Amino acid sequence: MPMASIVNRKSEACDGSPPPYALRVRSVDVPLGDRSYRIQIAPGLLERLGKECSRLKHGRRCAVISDRNVTPLYAKAAHESLSRAGFEPALITVPAGETAKSLDTVRRCYDALATHRLERRSFIVALGGGVVGDLAGFVAATYLRGIAFVQAPTTLLAQVDSSVGGKVGVNLKAGKNLVGAFHQPRLVLCDLDTLRTLPEREFRAGLAEVIKYGIIYDASFFRKLERSLDRILDRDPRVLADVVARCCEIKADVVGKDEKESGLRAILNFGHTVGHALEAISRYGKYLHGEAISIGQVIAAELSSRVLGLPAGEAARIRELFARAGLPTSLRLNARNRGRLVAAMHLDKKVSAGEIKFVLARRIGEVEFGCRVSPEILDRALDSSAPAASVESPEPRRQHSTPNRRSVPAD
């Protein structure tokens, strides 16, 4: 399978004038045969949403699924762009936050799609973060036995990870993403301007997935993150463009080799076994996804040291980078909550014959999947993760806010 490629071209505003800072559109191809698609990365891409969707040759009717935080900021721009291109878009707004990823929300989306008479040739645009992308993608995968969808991710986490690869789904009370499908998008548009409106906590949470790519696949990228973290936290657009593109390139390469997680793709779950369980026992409200998997990756690094011999210095570098990014790296659990955490881990999708399988690192940039970890080693790793973090979130969660910078409000 060929390596995912990056093609550059100039980014322009919708009237042909240069954007406020001239960046090239980076295009990353996801190589999946007749399901191949392109990821585009640049500022101002929401203005081109309709034009890019026109190239896909779908029907005129479409729906934009967004949430209550993103809709006031970006729904108008998306709707107008689609309308200019001759589409008839309907807007479906769902609650914000992980709890929206439910079968009840899916049912409400189905009803709205039926009301707007979407057809087999219609398509859905997922406008928002990872929750909206997972939810809208699952709705698209199952409505009329599957219609097309386009990802327009507006958070860092969604741009570098969840919008790419076609894993869509919703949660059950028992665990995260236990109901889902593989349904590839037809296009992914990563508008870097949308990252300007992310609250600081949400932006930092997205860095957990960024750091993951260095750990699992690219040691030089990990070193670059160590050197460039301050510029990333300042949201330097040129550095962000490079970071988002590299993450997408890595994920595209992994997905191109293993679309449905029969092997290699499992490495993308580094730290997620603990992280997803932590989200589940805290009822998807106390941790952002990136915060939970930050803790999960630090624990996975500790397990890696005990099981695969990850050098102590490299485990320390992993912990330090998450800490510098302002992410939690430790966990305090009483005996009851530790039992709940381990029980939730046994509901992980990677469990085989009742045994939890982990993705662990031999060194930064090289990981193995399907690793067995004894209960005793897991207990010691959990012990090493204490103290410092409770299951309380540091501030109320909001996916987007309106700063003193340009945004696109909806009327």
Please give the CATH topology (third level) of the domain spanning 227-384: Dehydroquinate synthase-like, alpha domain (1.20.1090)
Residue 399 gets the label, from left (phi > 0), alpha (psi -120 to 50) or beta, of: alpha
* Average pLDDT rounded to a whole number, residues 310-326: 98
Query: For residues 318 and 331, what is the distance between their CA atoms, to the nearest angstrom?
Result: 16
The residue-averaged pLDDT of 180-205 equals 97
pLDDT in tens, 49-61: 999 999 999 999 9
What residues act catalytically?
Answer: 145, 167, 209, 251, 261, 265, 269, 272, 276, 289
165-189: pLDDT as tens digits: 999 999 998 888 899 999 999 999 9
Taking only the tens place, the pLDDT of each residue in 118-129 is 999 999 999 999
The model's pLDDT over 137-147, given as tens digits with 9 standing for 90+, comes to: 999 999 999 99
pLDDT tens per residue across span 319-349? 999 999 999 999 988 899 999 999 999 987 7
Return the CATH class of domain 6-198.
alpha beta
User: Sorting pLDDT into bands at 50, 70 and 90, what band is 22?
Assistant: low
DSSP-assigned states of every residue in 302-356: HHHHHHT---HHHHHHHHHHHHHTT--------HHHHHHHHHHHTTSTT-BTTB-
Question: How does pLDDT run across 93-137, given as a tens digit for each residue?
Answer: 999 999 999 999 999 999 999 999 999 999 999 999 999 999 999
CA distance 216 to 219: 8
Confidence of residue 296 (pLDDT cuts 50, 70, 90): very high
Average pLDDT, the chain: 89
Q: What is the pTM of this model?
A: 0.86
Side-chain-facing half-sphere of 194: CA atoms under 13 Å: 31
Spans of all domains in the chain: 6-198, 227-384
Q: What confidence tier does 14 reach under pLDDT thresholds 50, 70, 90?
A: very low
